[in-house]
């Protein structure tokens, strides 16, 4: 019998509540003291098309899903067809007999069939709409999981719909639980057991990033909904009144970034979330922020391109685009978090860096990181975040000015004293053309050279502040993985598996992508005996960037670009071909 080490998957059609059911079960597991990692997979349509929600469960912290499934809750026959090959020998499928499943097909894969009249139970105890609740009760009965925890989540999730709905769902869950426990539980070897543990939270990358931005003082968010960045906009919309955040659903991405520039110009910390296609439309505005030296934050939650690409899928194909987006040369700060905790940190650091260097800061996330919830200890995120508003002039300093204010004063650092509009001594011109120190349009050769060099000096100043790569594992390992973004989680799990097998491996993760801290990256990679880069794009964009600026070439490249996230099994399987 294997306890608290398994993967459950719920599969069904869009519109059947696959995500909400999976999220509810995941929450119940976390309340029972367990760690989970959730993975959504869905088509870009409102109804129809196969969706799934996978939950990796353990009694220790985990950083990724894996490809093995121990229990499938199949709401449709298609779910069984799609995922049967993923189920481990001895694993099982819970399904309604109305699906007309051929048990011989399951037995041929050493998979156990657990037909449960989910719809009948739901109708008898509540309503047909509660079949998903029956499926969760059945899963708890089969795995031996505590129904008290399941019931607490049911009460929370349905509480707003009234006590009658809550009681009906509790009856449905209890009936399905009893049916399966009596008939099948003894034959299923994979179990889940509630353990005593501190209270934990279930949080995704998008939620963590939004929380970090909020605590950094973000008070204006504008965006046009675009998967997978939309949940950030939705999060702020839900909490806007509670925390005093102006949240605008703009008519398009061009309007969104221009609104953010306007808010930032007035001194408000402002952000726009989007994905690659939406960011492409924002590029002109990014250049405007660059020449105006206005501190804005843009979040690009990547998905596969080009064009609409795979709207609900995952890829890391925008890295090099971010470094050079918009014509001309100016500072673009790019942070690429790889964990839920790093999303929170990037959420506030981006604002501090943007204001300190008076430039756009970009947070480069991706669908896998954005949507996948993970169980974190309540103290995993340090809510006491630092605030750095940079060279912002106070009213007292402006009162003491004895000469005309020079918004774009040429300084050694490239950072000019910044004043917010409204003070009589802080009046200056503002435009998208090249300008002199006062903001007046100017095409003089000397002025252009001075202003261009001033802006570019900020690149080197910011480079010195970029964090060194994060390093995991023994420094003298035989194998070094180089990675970025959400690929870190699967790489960490793969490195742990290698360690268990007696092979030493370590990891170098670059989170501060641009300006690339060349000396720090070089130092982190110089001792690597065998360097393998893992990233989710075709061309190996991080490997290209590292080679261009450090001269270090990787010994092998593990890539994935099919729209589905990297997994530890995928990394280990492809490692054999590059080592």
Is the CB of residue 97 less than 8 Å from the CB of residue 115? Answer: yes
Question: Measured between alpha carbons, how far is 335 from 346 in angstroms, rounded to an integer?
Answer: 7
Instruction: Indicate the pTM of the whole model.
Output: 0.95
- Token duo for residue 351: 């604002």
Task: Tell which of 465, 497, 520 closes a domain.
Answer: 465
Q: Are residues 499 and 555 in the same domain?
A: yes
pLDDT one-digit tens code per residue, 18-59 = 999 999 999 999 999 999 999 999 888 777 789 999 999 999
Q: Are residues 179 and 210 in the same domain?
A: no
Look at residue 161 and tell me whether its pLDDT is greater than 80: yes
Question: Measured between alpha carbons, how far is 287 from 15 in angstroms, rounded to an integer?
Answer: 41
Whose CA is closest to 355, among 246, 267, 475, 226? Answer: 267
Q: Are residues 34 and 64 in the same domain?
A: yes
Question: Measured between alpha carbons, how far is 493 from 368 in angstroms, rounded to an integer?
Answer: 15
Give phi and psi for 204, each to the nearest 5.
-100, 170
CATH number of the domain enclosing 372? 3.40.50.970
Give phi and psi for 6, each to the nearest 5.
-160, 170
Q: Are residues 55 and 152 in the same domain?
A: yes
Is the CB of residue 274 less than 8 Å from the CB of residue 298? Answer: yes
In 10 A of CB 203, how many CB atoms?
20
Q: Are residues 127 and 257 in the same domain?
A: no
Domain that holds residue 294: 203-377
Look at residue 1 and tell me whether its pLDDT is greater than 80: no
Please count the CA atoms within 13 angstroms of the CA of 48 that sit on its side-chain side.
1
Q: Are residues 337 and 481 in the same domain?
A: no
Give the Cα-Cα-Cα angle 230, 46, 49 (nearest 5 degrees). Answer: 120
Give phi and psi for 11, each to the nearest 5.
-130, 140
pLDDT one-digit tens code per residue, 186-218 = 999 999 999 999 999 999 999 999 999 999 999
CATH number of the domain enclosing 523? 3.40.50.920
Strands 269-274 and 297-302: parallel
CATH number of the domain enclosing 106? 3.40.920.10
Indicate the DSSP class of residue 37: E
Alpha helices in 48-88 (DSSP H): 77-83
Q: How far is CA 526 from the centre of its chain?
A: 30
Q: Is 279 exposed, middle or buried (0-12, 13-18, 19+ CB in 10 A)?
A: buried
Q: Are residues 432 and 327 in the same domain?
A: no
385 lies in a domain?
no
Position 2 scores a pLDDT of: 85
Matching residue, tokens 């600026």: 549
Q: What is the helix (H) or strand (E) element at residue 143, kind and residue range?
A: helix 131-143
Whose CA is closest to 293, among 334, 251, 332? Answer: 332
384 lies in a domain?
no
Position 107 scores a pLDDT of: 95
Position 45 scores a pLDDT of: 73
pLDDT one-digit tens code per residue, 405-461 = 999 999 999 999 999 999 999 999 999 999 999 999 999 999 999 999 999 999 999
388 lies in a domain?
no
pLDDT-derived band at 15, boundaries 50, 70, 90: confident
Position 25 scores a pLDDT of: 96
390 lies in a domain?
no
Q: What is the helix (H) or strand (E) element at residue 103, kind and residue range?
A: helix 103-108
Q: Is 58 exposed, middle or buried (0-12, 13-18, 19+ CB in 10 A)?
A: middle
13 lies in a domain?
yes
Q: Are residues 407 and 333 in the same domain?
A: no
Q: Are residues 146 and 186 in the same domain?
A: yes
Q: Are residues 89 and 148 in the same domain?
A: yes
Matching residue, tokens 């405007």: 288
Position 290 scores a pLDDT of: 97
Question: Measured between alpha carbons, how far is 118 from 131 in angstroms, rounded to an integer?
Answer: 5
Indicate the DSSP class of residue 424: T
220's torsion region: left (phi>0), alpha (psi -120 to 50) or beta?
beta
Q: Are residues 295 and 361 in the same domain?
A: yes
Look at residue 510 and tell me whether its pLDDT is greater than 80: yes
Question: Measured between alpha carbons, how far is 568 from 514 in angstroms, rounded to an integer?
Answer: 28
At a CB cut-off of 8 Å and minimum separation 6, what does 172 contact?
121, 122, 125, 126, 130, 133, 134, 137
Q: How many domains does the chain have?
A: 4
pLDDT one-digit tens code per residue, 469-489 = 999 999 999 999 999 999 999
Task: Tell which of 165, 197, 229 closes a domain.
Answer: 197
In 10 A of CB 445, how many CB atoms?
8
65 lies in a domain?
yes
62 lies in a domain?
yes
389 lies in a domain?
no
Matching residue, tokens 């973004």: 485
pLDDT one-digit tens code per residue, 528-563 = 999 999 999 999 999 999 999 999 999 999 999 999
pLDDT one-digit tens code per residue, 252-293 = 999 999 999 999 999 999 999 999 999 999 999 999 999 999
Q: Are residues 310 and 401 in the same domain?
A: no
Task: Tell which of 197, 216, 246 closes a domain.
Answer: 197
Position 577 scores a pLDDT of: 79
Look at residue 390 and tell me whether its pLDDT is greater than 90: yes
List C-alpha distances in Å: 424 to 254, 392, 399. 31, 16, 9
Is the CB of residue 368 less than 8 Å from the CB of residue 393? Answer: no
Per residue, the 3-state secondary structure of 354-396, as one string, reads HHHHCCCEEEEEEHHHHHCCEEEECCCCCCCCCCCCCCECCHH
At a CB cut-off of 8 Å and minimum separation 6, what does 170 contact?
151, 154, 155
- Token duo for residue 512: 């501060």
Question: Measured between alpha carbons, how far is 461 from 415 in angstroms, rounded to an integer?
Answer: 9
- Token duo for residue 270: 């402002």
Q: What is the CA radius of gyration of the chain?
A: 26
Per residue, the 3-state secondary structure of 306-332, as one string, reads CCCCCCCCCCCCCHHHHHHCCCCCCCC
């Amino acid at each position: 019998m294997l306890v608290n080490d398994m993967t459950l998957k719920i599969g069904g059609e869009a519109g059947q509540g696959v995500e909400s059911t999976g999220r509810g079960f995941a929450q119940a597991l976390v309340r029972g003291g367990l760690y989970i990692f959730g993975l959504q997979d869905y088509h870009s349509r409102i109804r129809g098309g196969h969706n799934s929600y996978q939950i990796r469960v353990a009694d220790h912290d985990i950083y990724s899903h894996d490809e093995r499934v121990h229990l499938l809750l199949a709401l449709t026959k298609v779910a069984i067809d799609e995922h049967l090959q993923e189920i481990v020998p001895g694993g099982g499928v819970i399904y309604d007999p109305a699906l007309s499943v051929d048990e011989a097909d399951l037995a041929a894969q050493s998979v156990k069939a657990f037909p449960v009249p989910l719809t009948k139970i739901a109708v008898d105890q509540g309503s047909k709409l509660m079949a998903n609740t029956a499926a969760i009760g059945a899963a708890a009965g089969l795995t031996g999981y505590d129904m008290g925890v399941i019931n607490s989540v049911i009460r929370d999730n349905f509480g707003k719909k009234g006590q009658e709905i809550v009681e009906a769902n509790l009856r449905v869950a209890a009936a399905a639980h009893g049916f399966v426990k009596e008939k099948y539980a003894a034959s299923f070897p994979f179990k889940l057991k509630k353990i005593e543990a501190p209270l934990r939270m279930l949080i995704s990358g998008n939620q963590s990033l939004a929380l970090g931005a909020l605590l950094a003082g973000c008070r204006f968010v504008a965006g046009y909904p675009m998967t997978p960045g939309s949940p950030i906009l939705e999060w702020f919309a839900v909490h806007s009144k509670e925390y005093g955040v102006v949240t605008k659903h703009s008519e398009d991405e061009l309007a969104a970034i221009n609104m953010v520039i306007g808010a930032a110009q007035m001194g408000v910390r402002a952000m726009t979330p989007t994905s690659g296609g939406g960011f492409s439309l924002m590029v002109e505005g990014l250049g405007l922020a660059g020449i105006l030296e206005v501190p804005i934050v843009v979040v690009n939650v990547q998905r596969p391109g080009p064009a609409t690409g795979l709207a609900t899928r995952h890829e890391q194909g925008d890295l090099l685009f971010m470094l050079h987006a918009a014509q001309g040369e100016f500072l673009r700060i790019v942070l690429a978090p790889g964990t839920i905790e790093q999303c929170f940190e990037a959420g506030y650091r981006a604002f501090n860096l943007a204001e300190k260097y008076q430039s756009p800061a970009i947070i480069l996330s991706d669908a896998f990181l954005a949507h996948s919830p993970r169980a974190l200890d309540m103290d995993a995120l340090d809510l006491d975040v630092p605030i750095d508003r940079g060279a912002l002039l106070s009213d007292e300093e402006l009162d003491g000015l004895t000469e005309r204010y020079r918004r774009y004063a040429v300084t050694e650092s490239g950072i000019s004293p910044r004043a917010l509009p409204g003070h009589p001594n802080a009046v200056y011109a503002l435009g998208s053309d090249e300008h002199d120190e006062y903001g007046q349009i100017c095409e003089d050769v000397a002025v252009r050279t001075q202003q261009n060099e001033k802006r570019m000096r900020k690149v080197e100043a910011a480079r010195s502040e970029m964090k060194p790569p994060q390093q995991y594992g023994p420094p003298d390992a035989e194998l070094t993985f180089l990675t970025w973004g959400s690929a870190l989680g699967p790489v960490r799990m793969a490195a742990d598996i290698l360690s268990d097998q007696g092979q030493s491996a370590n990891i170098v993760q670059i989170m501060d992508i641009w300006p690339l801290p060349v000396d720090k990256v070089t130092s982190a990679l110089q001792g690597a005996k065998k360097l393998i880069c893992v990233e989710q794009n075709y061309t190996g964009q991080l490997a290209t960037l590292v080679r261009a600026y450090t001269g270090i070439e990787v010994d092998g490249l593990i890539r994935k670009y099919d729209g589905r996230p990297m997994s530890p099994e995928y990394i280990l399987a492809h490692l054999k071909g590059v080592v």
